[in-house]
Amino acid sequence: MSMKDKKRCPGHPGLILKNLYLEPLSISNAKLAEILGVSRKAISSIVNERKSITPDMALRLSQAFPNSTAESWLNLQKNYDLWQTAHNTNDWKSVRAVSERQAQRA
């Protein structure tokens, strides 16, 4: 099943960070920011689902939480972004498949 066919939006990585790491470990946004060497605002923006996980942040999170990987953080973000785009935009729907004939003419 493709992402555009899924009805339920995947959780934002910030929600995962909050619910599976920060709350169970009683770590504040400020403390995590200190651990990661970033601003409290950067963590708050992610936890409150206003900013995306970048590759740099994914690497930092995977270092802080060894049971996770940078790839897993980026996959969470990719899945969230893809679902949002598939369900909240329409421009991509007008694109048609490239035929073999069209490809040969190029």
Domain map of the chain by residue range?
11-87
Report the distance separating Cα 43 and Cα 40, nearest Å: 5
pLDDT of residue 4: 64
pTM for this model (two decimals):
0.85
Residue 90, Cβ density class (10 Å: 0-12 exposed, 13-18 middle, ≥19 buried): exposed
Predicted confidence (pLDDT) per residue in 62-77, tens digit? 999 999 999 999 999 9
Predicted confidence band at 7 (pLDDT cuts at 50, 70, 90)? confident
| Confidence (pLDDT) at 15 | 98
The CATH code that applies to domain 11-87 is: 1.10.260.40
Selection from 15, 8, 4 nearest residue 77 by Cα:
15
Q: Is the pLDDT of residue 38 over 80?
A: yes
Task: Name the average pLDDT for the chain.
Answer: 93
Report the C-alpha dihedral over residues 27, 31, 33, 39, rounded to 10 degrees. Answer: 130
